[in-house]
Structure 1
Amino acid sequence: MGFAARCSLMAQIARKRGSQVIAYVTGDRENVSTRIAPDVLPVFHRHLRLLPAGERLDLFLYSRGGDVLTPWRLVHLVREWAAEFAVLVPYRAYSAGTLICLGADEVVMGVMGELGPIDPSVVSAFNPKDPVNPNARIPVNVEDVYSFLALAREVAGMSHDEDRRKTFLLLAEKIHPLALGNVHRNYLLVRSLAQKLLALRQNPPTPDQVRHIVDSLTEKLYAHNHMIPRREASTEIGLATTYPDPELESLLWALYENYEQELLLGQPFNPADIIRGTRTDFEVVGGLVESMAGQDAFVFHGVAERQDCPDGRINVTILRQGWRRAQGGA
């Protein structure tokens, strides 16, 4: 099953919902994974220009996350084209994917649908060095920093000004003050983005509801890898979610399974599987944006080379990567 089969499924979803459908899949295949990032915005713009004018756009989304600023621009771009905007979540829409959902008028979650916390991990030149790889920096999770300060205040009883000062100085000995400043900026940023995205809805939640949703998706989930099923999303967090009927559920899952097969999700990219002789050039697709207007693929171009050593080690070099128009359109 390829692009033509997926177009058929998207057309059936579109007819059922009276919408235009765009699918955005960032693959999580090990070694060739992709993420939500600003380079997808021109790709979306091209699809929107080529699709027939319509009042409703449905975004079929699968992603483990990415850049937290991209959802803001992406939702605004979609809303320039469509009065009504819905996100279809058959399976995973984590982190930045969840932020996109916050900006939608409707989030259609299948029985396997999952959202995730929106607390980012930040990396800057001032982050602690990775002891295993001194050229790399250890990401610092925003909520981990604030949880440490809460631990000192609420459990250790360090609530006086002098105690708080000592606590901060202790933290600053382990994490560079400028890295902590970056953490604080992202702490404020993700909450501001979530609030603004919720305000874009045709029926935005009340200020109290917004506060509860944002707090629930940041500090109250306690683990960045917490998976939020649709019942928790609607009843505990308060997101406006819709359960698809059996026919739509079947269509959404069939479309996801097609992408799973196309991108080999869950199967690590192993250069030993593709190398022929001592050197092989390769292309691997790591992400897709598709609609009835065509297909764009995020392609990794690289070379695999077998080393002249007893264990036959294979080195992989990615020469270039990026979006490429694969089917249809101008």
Structure 2
Amino acid sequence: MNEKQKKILLESIETIRDSKLLVYFSYTPLDDSILVPLYQELNKVGKTQKIDLFLHSYGGAVDTPYKVVMLIREFCEKFSVIVPFSAKSAASMIVLGADEVVMGPISELGPIDPLVKHPSYKDFWIPVQALRCCFEYIEEIIDNTVNPEVSEIIVTSMLNKLDPWLIGDYEKALKASRQYAESLLSKYMLKNDPEKVKTVTKNLTNGYFSHGYPIGRAEAREMGINVTYAQGELWDLIWELYLHYQSIFSHDSASNFSFYSAGEF
């Protein structure tokens, strides 16, 4: 696909959606490095009635999604997220700050389980819930042991590897994710349905054991999230655009992330 064809795709989605379309596509963890490029792209678009964010991301830092939502909303009255395939963890947090999420048959959200950098291994990110699961596992060993001496050796060895400062930091990240989720839902996604805010927050931050659990559009809608089903021509265009960016990133290992809009051409 050449640049002209990509522009036609972007503009076709904008026409159907009556919006300005931004694309964020990344296979690397979401963090604050995206904020300046996002601001520059929003300046190109300018103040407008409605912005759609075409979002593909597997998550990242706990604070970044809130900043992304607040920044985009400086430039529009209505904000929607289009999920062609995956918007997981911290990316799902961005969805909670939208007025609606547009999803197709293969689209997935995920539990809000922020990622943190491992203190010892460079460029290795882990979900903070993994630490909570570690403590639950230790408790299980203690409760079910038949040999207290052996269990004491195992537990002591595990605890000696845990830095209390890191434990505190990870626990703060979990609490922050709940706080952000509740705030975004209250202000935006569920502002007209406040009784659902705490339930949806609890489900997304503490309702799933797997970091990668796929929350499809039917489950998301049943949970209380404002889901619009993409179908027909709109879905065909969304999926074609997704396949285009997937092809770009699969052939360019140096790419980390990119923002695009029809206005850049």
Q: Shorter-chain TM-score: which interval? A: 0.7 to 0.9
Equivalent residues of 1:94, 1:117 under 8 A apart: yes
Equivalent position of 1:249 in the other structure:
235
- Per the alignment, do residues 147 and 255 of structure 1 end up closer, same or farther by CA in structure 2, a change over 3 Å counting? same
Equivalent residues of 1:140, 1:183 under 8 A apart: no
Partners of 2:160 and 2:37 lie apart in 1 by: 44
Partners of 1:123 and 1:99 lie apart in 2 by: 19
Equivalent position of 1:293 in the other structure:
263
- Per the alignment, do residues 200 and 207 of structure 1 end up closer, same or farther by CA in structure 2, a change over 3 Å counting? closer
Equivalent residues in 2 for 1:93-172, closer than 5 Å = 93-123=87-117, 125=119, 129=120, 141-149=127-135, 172=159
CA deviation vs aligned residue, 1:86-128 (integer Å, no higher than 9, x gap): 0001111111211111100010001110111211243464xxx
The answer to whether residue 59 in structure 2 is matched with residue 37 in structure 1 is no
Gaps of 5+ in 1: 29-33, 130-134, 159-165, 270-283, 295-327
Q: Which amino acid aligns with 1:288?
A: S
Number of residue pairs matched? 255
CA deviation vs aligned residue, 1:268-296 (integer Å, no higher than 9, x gap): 95xxxxxxxxxxxxxx33322111221xx
Q: 1:70 aligns with which of 64, 73, 85?
A: 64
C-alpha displacement at 1:216, in angstroms? 1.5
Q: 2:247 aligns with which of 261, 264, 286?
A: 261
> SS at 1:228's partner residue?
coil
Equivalent position of 1:194 in the other structure:
181
> SS at 2:206's partner residue?
coil
The answer to whether residue 21 in structure 2 is matched with residue 7 in structure 1 is no
Equivalent residues of 1:122, 1:182 under 8 A apart: no
Which TM-score applies when normalising by structure 2? 0.85
Larger fraction in strand: 1
Q: Which amino acid aligns with 1:193?
A: Y
Equivalent position of 1:173 in the other structure:
160
C-alpha displacement at 1:72, in angstroms? 0.8
Relative contact order: is structure 1 or structure 2 higher (C-alpha 8 Å, sep ≥ 6)?
2
Q: 1:84 aligns with which of 78, 96, 101?
A: 78
C-alpha displacement at 1:224, in angstroms? 0.6
Q: Which amino acid aligns with 2:184?
A: L
C-alpha displacement at 1:205, in angstroms? 5.7
Equivalent position of 1:61 in the other structure:
55
- Per the alignment, do residues 124 and 63 of structure 1 end up closer, same or farther by CA in structure 2, a change over 3 Å counting? closer
> SS at 2:79's partner residue?
strand
Equivalent residues of 2:97, 2:189 under 8 A apart: no
CA deviation vs aligned residue, 1:148-169 (integer Å, no higher than 9, x gap): 55567799769xxxxxxx9xx9
Equivalent residues in 2 for 1:209-248, closer than 5 Å = 209-235=196-222, 237-248=223-234
Compare 244-253 and 207-216 and name the one that shifted more: 207-216
> SS at 2:53's partner residue?
strand
> SS at 1:290's partner residue?
strand
CA deviation vs aligned residue, 1:56-86 (integer Å, no higher than 9, x gap): 1001111112222111111111111101000
Q: Which amino acid aligns with 2:259?
A: V
- Per the alignment, do residues 119 and 203 of structure 1 end up closer, same or farther by CA in structure 2, a change over 3 Å counting? closer
Output the aligned Cα RMSD: 2.7
C-alpha displacement at 1:23, in angstroms? 0.7
Q: Which amino acid aligns with 1:260?
A: Q
C-alpha displacement at 1:46, in angstroms? 1.8
- Per the alignment, do residues 187 and 88 of structure 1 end up closer, same or farther by CA in structure 2, a change over 3 Å counting? same
> SS at 1:285's partner residue?
coil
